[in-house]
Structure 1
Amino acid sequence: MTWSPPPRTLFKINVDGVVAKANKKAGVGVIVRDDLGRVEAALCRNLNAPLGPIEIESKAIEARLLFAQDIGIQDIVVESDSLIMAQVLNGTLALPSAVLAVVQGIMDLSKGFHRVEFSHVKRHGNRPAHLLAKRALGIVDFIAWIEKMPCFLEQALIHDVTF
């Protein structure tokens, strides 16, 4: 399982969240790529809060929508390795009460885009976003890269795009 491109004219935004229970931190990683696999933007964000897995995945999706808004992307495929969140956002699974407010925020944010699709990818197909999320645990707030890729992601990105 590797990254697959979005339909032409759309951007794919992969996201992942990680939880470090030992120090009660959570990290979010976001990577935006075009239909050729080129990195348009990337983000690491530290969430200095003790969140559980479903909560961090929902916050990660919210962060990616906000990031897409900030960089002016209007047509997106939002891809996560959380099957539960993909099903919730596509309306095929009941909403867990733990993420009710965040999911409502995600749905409200989605209205500000021309086109938003939510999809699921297995963890192996989401490696660069996972690496960004892990990197976020070691920073204070956030780091963003626009129209370039972080050097620590180069190998993962080369192995990720296989079309």
Structure 2
Amino acid sequence: MSFVHIWDGLVSRHNKTELELIVCALRTIWLQRNRLVFEGKLKGPKKVWLIARLEVKDFHQQCGMTQIVGGVAKGTLMKWSKLAFNWFKLNWNVAFCEKNKRMGGGIVVRSWESDLVAAAGWSKRFITNPLLAEATTLERATYLRIELGLYEAIFEGDALVLINDVKGKIENWSWYGQIVEDLMLFFYHNNNRQLKFIPRIGNNAAHILVKLALGFEEEVVWIEEGPREILQCVDCEKL
């Protein structure tokens, strides 16, 4: 049976969203085959499926991204929406290098008037999975809120899989479930703490910060200031 016949069968039985996931899964399997042949390493089926889900998510986010020139997004830009008085927004993001098992985490904190309150960036080694990197970064953001003495806060990120898990309100038995359970307790029935998904185009400041953070040897925290690229992005989103 030719690939065309197999593909026709898949198209007739699955919708567009399912086909995207199937394509990413097949690509991941092919890459794993190459890795087995040349490196003698192989990931299990659960890891392959997880990678496929993350690739689909990244594909949709990349479709909505704008080109970044000099650290500031050009073209379509999601503008800042003013918050209620005395509310703060913590945007968080992660960059993950699977080859080096290294992550960069970043958090950008802004006031209800979009003024930069703080920023934090760091890198860690021996992180084995993007979801673990995202979960630990959101967890760090909850601690940063306490350290800054913020009461009412919105946590925004583009890690849709993690956010859905945290907001799922059911017991999580995944391998990173303990962190998810802790985050559930933090957000559950707390009107002064909100967790929201935002497309990467609206998470630009944190996205830029994590690229810088990959080069950090230890956590760096700025109060009412930050790297030039972050300041430019924050100012641009105010306009």
TM bucket normalised to smaller: 0.7 to 0.9
Q: Which amino acid counterpart does residue 63 of structure 1 have in structure 2?
A: R
Residue 146 of structure 2 aligns to a residue in which SS?
A: helix
Aligned to 1:61: 138
| Aligned residue number for residue 39 of structure 1 | 116
Distance 1:26 1:96 in 2: 24
State the number of aligned residues.
Answer: 161
* TM-score of the pair, normalised by structure 2: 0.61
3-state SS in 2 of match to 1:129: helix
Q: Any stretches of 5+ residues in structure 2 without a counterpart?
A: 1-77
**Which of these residues, 110, 118, 126, is aligned with residue 49 of structure 1?**
126
Counterpart amino acid of 1:10?
W
Q: 1:104 to 1:74 in 2, by over 3 A?
A: same
- Give the structure with the larger strand fraction: 1
Deviation at 1:106, TM superposition (A): 2.2
Give the structure 2 partner of residue 124 of structure 1: 201
For residues 131-156 of structure 1, give each alpha carbon's deviation from its aligned partner in whole angstroms, at most 9, with x where no partner exists: 11111110112000012232231222
SS at match of 2:212: helix
1:23-34 to structure 2, matched below 5 A, reads 23-34=100-111
Question: Superposition RMSD on alpha carbons, in Å?
Answer: 2.2
Does the C-alpha gap of structure 1 residues 27 and 132 become closer, same or farther in structure 2, counting only changes over 3 Å? same
Secondary structure of 1:22's aligned partner: coil
Using the aligned pairs only, state the percent identity.
Answer: 25
Instruction: Decide which moves more: 153-162 or 16-25.
Output: 153-162
Determine which structure has greater relative contact order: mean sequence separation of CA pairs < 8 Å that are 6+ residues apart, divided by chain length: 1
2:211 corresponds in structure 1 to: 134
Equivalent runs, 1:40-119 vs 2, <5 Å: 40-91=117-168, 95=172, 97-110=174-187, 115-119=192-196
Q: Give CA-to-partner distance per residue, 1:104-132, whole Å, 9 cap, x none.
A: 23234458x87210001000110110111
Native 8 Å contact 1:86 1:119 kept in 2: yes
List structure 1 segments (4+ residues) > 6 angstroms apart after TM superposition. Answer: none
Q: What residue ranges of structure 1 are gaps of 5+ in the alignment?
A: none
> In 2, are the aligned partners of 1:28 and 1:133 still within 8 Å (CA)?
yes
TM-score by length of 1: 0.86
Deviation at 1:69, TM superposition (A): 1.1
1:92 Cα shift? 6.4
Are 2:227 and 1:157 aligned?
Answer: no
| Higher helix residue share | 2
Tell me which moved more, 43-52 or 122-131. 43-52
Aligned counterparts of 1:96 and 1:87: Cα–Cα separation in 2: 14
